[in-house]
């Protein structure tokens, strides 16, 4: 890989002054004017991304609160917030729920279902394909507030649509199965992305390879294992990376169950919101946010390693 895409040959550039000016400053703007063009974007990124991130890192080291004396005069408390988070059962509970949420709704739900739909529809044409795709994509593009409301209406104990359909009286889905509810919800909501990604990826599997396997007598599963997966491995890893991170940081479950009942669906994103903004412990919330950031980093590095080792 590294040899194939070697950097431009610098010695050749110095030998040819015109070529050099060309490659360094293709638009011919000059350093200052080029800088002026880039400056507004850099400024916005600094103000809205870099600064808040650093601010969170700093807040995590203080006892800053939303109200009270600590709000007026926060003190640096070192790693106290981190230590108390790691000793706090609710934090671990949220982490565990988040793992369930990611595995259930992202890895198994969205990736599995998305791939299954893409595979089943791969050589279908006509209205069936368009209807299925249309429905799946619709779930994806509707605003969170709208779909959350729809799902609450669907799952509600009191006159919910699902109870009416199943004839289950006033069964309280959101109270009795809060995690299952948000996992199913998030699967439904996010499958479109994976479906479209795999649909495109499957288009790249050469038909002759599949046919070759079929002629050898390979079953459907063997065709997937020996032809399809090796071809789309990179797509699968990229998809898993994106989906895992998005789901990990997803706040929409709050709009369905509000983390309840009794913290049973309080994933980390909801946990941070609750401790920081509802309980007002901004410093502690920032520390948990930093931990989430670290977990995200670890997950991303893990996938990127896999992706690179594949090449």
Partner 1 sequence: MAAIELRRLTKVYPGGVKALDALDLVIPDGEFFALLGPSGCGKTTLLRTIAGLETATGGAVVIGDRDVTSVQPGGRDIAMVFQDYALFPHMDVTDNVAYPLRIKKVAKAERHRRAGEVAARLGLERLMDRRPGQLSGGQQQRVALARVMATQAQAFLFDEPLSNLDARLRLEARTFLKKLQRELGVTTVFVTHDQAEALAMADRMAVMEAGVIRQIGTPAEVFQRPANTFVAGFIGSTPMNLLDAVVRGDTLEVAGCAVPVPDAAAGLLADGEKVVYGVRPEYNAYAPKPADGSSEGALAGKVVIVENLGASHLVTLDVNDVTVQAVVPEGSEPAVGDEGFAAPRRDRALVYRDGELVTR
H-helix or E-strand spanning residue 264: none
Q: Are 174 and 153 in contact (CB under 8 A)?
A: no
Indicate the residue among 103 and 218 with the shorter CB distance to partner 1: 218
Alpha-helical (H) ranges within the chain are 10-15, 17-24, 31-45, 51-59, 69-72, 80-86, 89-101, 113-120, 127-141, 144-155, 161-166, 173-176, 178-202, 207-216, 220-223, 229-248, 253-257, 268-273, 282-310
User: 80 by DSSP, 3-state: which?
Assistant: helix
- Contact (CB, 8 A) for 140 and 189: yes
Which of 1, 141 has the CB closer to partner 1? 1
d(CA 261, CA 231): 44
Residue number, 77 or 228, with CB nearest to partner 1: 228
Cα 251–Cα 257–Cα 260 angle in degrees, nearest 5: 105
Cβ atoms within 10 Å, residue 222: 13
- Which residues sit at the interface with partner 1, rule CB under 8 A? 206, 208-209, 211-218, 222, 226-227, 230-231
- What's the closest the beta carbon of residue 151 comes to partner 1, in angstroms? 40
Based on CB atoms, which residue is closest to partner 1, 75 or 225?
A: 225
With respect to partner 1, which residue has the nearer C-beta, 141 or 215? 215
Closer to partner 1 by Cβ: residue 67 or 208: 208
CA atoms of 173 and 37, how far apart (whole Å): 54
Minimum CB separation from partner 1 for residue 213, in Å?
8
Compute the half-sphere exposure of residue 58: CA atoms within 13 Å on the CB side of its CA. Answer: 8
Question: Residue 219 region, left (φ>0) first, then alpha (ψ -120 to 50), else beta?
Answer: beta
Beta carbon of residue 215, minimum distance to partner 1 (angstroms, whole number)? 5
Q: Which is nearer to partner 1, 136 or 213 (CB)?
A: 213
Distance in Å, CB of 310 to partner 1, minimum: 10
Q: Which is nearer to partner 1, 177 or 231 (CB)?
A: 231
- Closest distance between partner 1 and the C-beta of residue 234, in Å? 12
Of 237, 213, 218, 223, give the one whose Cα is nearest residue 122.
223
Shortest distance (Å) from residue 131 CB to partner 1 = 19
Q: How far is the CB of 282 from partner 1 (least distance, A)?
A: 51
The CA-CA-CA angle for residues 177, 145, 139, to 5°, reads 75
* Distance of closest approach, residue 214 Cβ to partner 1, in angstroms: 5
């Amino acid at each position: 890989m590294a040899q194939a895409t070697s950097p431009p040959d610098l010695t050749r550039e110095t030998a040819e002054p015109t070529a050099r000016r060309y490659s360094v400053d293709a638009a011919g703007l000059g350093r200052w004017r080029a800088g002026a063009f880039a400056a507004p974007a850099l400024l916005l990124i600094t103000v809205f991304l870099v600064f808040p991130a650093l601010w969170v890192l700093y807040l995590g080291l203080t006892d800053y609160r939303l109200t009270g004396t600590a709000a007026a005069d926060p003190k640096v408390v070192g790693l106290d917030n981190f230590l108390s988070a790691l000793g706090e059962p609710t934090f671990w509970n949220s982490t565990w729920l988040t793992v369930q949420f990611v595995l259930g709704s992202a890895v198994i739900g969205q990736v599995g279902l998305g791939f299954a739909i893409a595979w089943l529809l791969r050589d279908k044409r006509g209205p069936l394909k368009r209807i299925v795709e249309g429905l799946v994509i619709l779930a994806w593009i509707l605003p969170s507030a709208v779909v959350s409301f729809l799902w609450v209406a669907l799952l509600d104990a009191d006159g919910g649509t699902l109870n009416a359909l199943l004839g289950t009286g006033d069964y309280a889905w959101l109270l009795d199965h809060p995690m299952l509810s948000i996992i199913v919800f998030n699967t439904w909501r996010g499958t479109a992305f994976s479906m479209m990604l795999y649909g495109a990826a499957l288009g790249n599997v050469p038909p002759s390879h599949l046919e070759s396997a079929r002629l050898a007598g390979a079953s459907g599963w063997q065709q997937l294992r020996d032809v399809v997966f090796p071809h789309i491995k990179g797509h699968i890893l990229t998809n898993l990376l994106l989906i895992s991170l998005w789901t990990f940081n997803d706040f929409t479950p709050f709009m369905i169950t509000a983390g309840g009942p009794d913290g049973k669906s309080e994933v980390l994103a909801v946990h941070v919101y609750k401790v920081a903004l509802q309980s007002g412990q901004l410093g502690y919330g920032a520390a948990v946010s930093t931990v989430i950031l670290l977990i995200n980093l670890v997950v991303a590095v893990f996938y990127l390693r896999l992706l690179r080792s594949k090449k």
